[in-house]
Each structure stands twice: as structure tokens, then as C-alpha cells.
Amino acid sequence: MSLSGRDCVLCENGVSGNKGEHVLPLWFIDRTIPKNSDAVDVYTVEKNGVVMKWPSGKTVGLEKFYETCVPCCADCNGKLNTRFEQAMAGIGYDSVASLRHFTSGEAAVLGEWWLKTLLLLVHPEATELKVMGESTGVGVIAWPRQHKNLYHWMTHALPAPNGLCVYAYKVDRSAEGIGDVSFPIPEVHADNGTFPSYVAAVEFEKMGLIISFHPGWSADLPGVQEGTLVQLWPHKGELDLSTLTAVPDSPVRFYGLSVTVSGDFDPSGAIPLKDETDIRDRTPNVSSVAMKATA
């Protein structure tokens, strides 16, 4: 599958080259995924708990992560490299998978890099190039099509829009019941409409990431207080990932909140979750993917 000639997803003016922009750069995969001579064969990719397969029936493996791309023009590709990749190089590529202490400046770089990367991963036009002559037709995860300002800022020297959050957790697949991560997904019902939230999770061998978009809403996450979850974005100062409590395999527990507010809801504000808010459990719509070693 070639991306050549498709509209750039970042500026909407340029035209993508053949491979566009790789969502997960090779330097990231090399530092995050344990080396094995048969890496493609010993890893599987699970989407929402189901092992993914190619049309031929072969299990999808590590190659899925290598090949996930978005349509991107050469100009925007260069801007992404300048703003995000060079900044990561400045604090050391090994930092992306390092559970260490980060200064405030380093944490800002790390958080913004993960925000950019995860947003590209959930873009509705993210897709993998043909691998071994096959294509599943879609990328790893996909959110519904959203406002362009979720991506426009990346290549226009703008701050990220409000309502976006990124969290990280440490995975220990040998652990049993060490802890888990509870993550609320609010849907706000108001006189001026319904305002859904979007959440996606991606889990690698030693680390998991969660990205959420819930404009106008803020919720205190128990995992942050309990030490199983750390907020990477919005940037809040220095970080110490070495203190994270490891959680077992597939630890994230998503739950839905249906919240009714009186009057109009303003997504540009920030309404905290309150006890008196009308909350009803619902089944959340979550996209999650996990890369797991099978041997």
C-alpha cells in the first residue's frame, strides 16, 4: 500500500510521499523491544484483546509496528523531525524507554514526543504499508475523525490543544496482582449536545501508554495517587519514573461515565468530576493494542 499522492494529514495542503511518516521510528523500536533473531515470529499484536491476523491467517507480529505510517508531505516530515525527533535526540534516545528521573526540561520533551507519536498512531488515516504482500487495511489503532487542531499544531509551532492527556505505566508480565490501573472515560450530556471522550492504549514489553482526549473535563485518576500511573502530558514538571509500581499483564481497567450537566457545556473550560454529578456506568468505547512476546 503506497501513500504517494494522498493529502498530508498535518497541513492538508501538501502531498504525501510513498511512505509518508513512520509513526514509530526505528530508533524507538530498537530501544523498546527486546532483541531476538526471530523477533517477527515471537511477537504477537492484540487489538482489544484479540490477536490480529493477516488475510492469509498468519499472526500479525512486530512488522505491524515497523510499517504503520500516516500520509505526510516532505515539508511536514521535516518539521516533525526538527521539533520532536531532534529534541528527543537532545535528551538521549534511550530516554524514551527509560524508567529514570527526568528534569523538568527533559520531561517536557518526553511528554510532547509521546503526545505526537500517540496522536499519529490513532489518526484515522494511519495504515500499515503492505507487509509480505498483505495488508489488514487499517493501522494499529484508530480514533474517529477529529478536529484538525489535534494535528495542525505539530508543524505550525503551536502548543498542543487543551483536553489531551498522556499517561505511562510500568509492566511486569511475571507479576500477579501487584496492581492495576483504573481509567474513567466520561461522556458529557448537556443542553447543547453530547460530548464524548476518546481513549486509546498501547502496551509494549515493559511499558504501557494511554492517550485521552476529553476537552473541558478533568478527572483525578486513582492510579496517579497510588503510584501505578504517571502523567506525561500535560507537562507538570520533573518526573521520576523509577518510583512507578509495576502492574501485571493487561492491567488497564477502563470504565465509562455518563455525566449529565445542567445548561450548556463548554469544552474550552475544565469541569472537575464532582460527587453530586449524575454518573451512570456505561460500556466505554476504547481502542487498545498490546505487543506481547509469545516465546
- From start to end of the chain, where are the E strands? 21-22, 43-47, 50-51, 68-70, 101-102, 127-128, 164-170, 181-190, 193-195, 198-203, 207-213, 217-218, 230-233, 239-240, 252-260, 271-272, 278-282, 286-293
Higher per-residue confidence, 291 vs 271: 291
Window from 97-101, 132-136, 220-224 with minimum mean pLDDT: 132-136
Identify the band that residue 105 occupies on the pLDDT scale cut at 50, 70 and 90: very high
Identify the band that residue 295 occupies on the pLDDT scale cut at 50, 70 and 90: very low
Mean pLDDT of 55-67: 74
The separation between the first and the last C-alpha atoms of the chain, rounded to the nearest angstrom, is 30
Three-state DSSP at 45 gives: strand
pLDDT higher than 90, residue 130:
no
Find which of 40-54, 157-171, 186-200 is predicted with most confidence, using mean pLDDT.
157-171
Per the CB < 8 A criterion, the answer to whether 16 and 73 are in contact is: yes
pLDDT higher than 80, residue 257:
no
pLDDT score, position 148: 64
pLDDT score, position 132: 42
pLDDT higher than 70, residue 70:
yes
- From start to end of 28-112, where are the E strands? 43-47, 50-51, 68-70, 101-102
DSSP bridge partners of 291: 45
pLDDT score, position 173: 65
What type of residue sits at position 271?
I
Identify the band that residue 281 occupies on the pLDDT scale cut at 50, 70 and 90: very low
Mean pLDDT of 234-256: 78
pLDDT higher than 80, residue 154:
yes
Window from 142-146, 177-181, 206-210 with minimum mean pLDDT: 177-181
Give the pTM.
Answer: 0.83
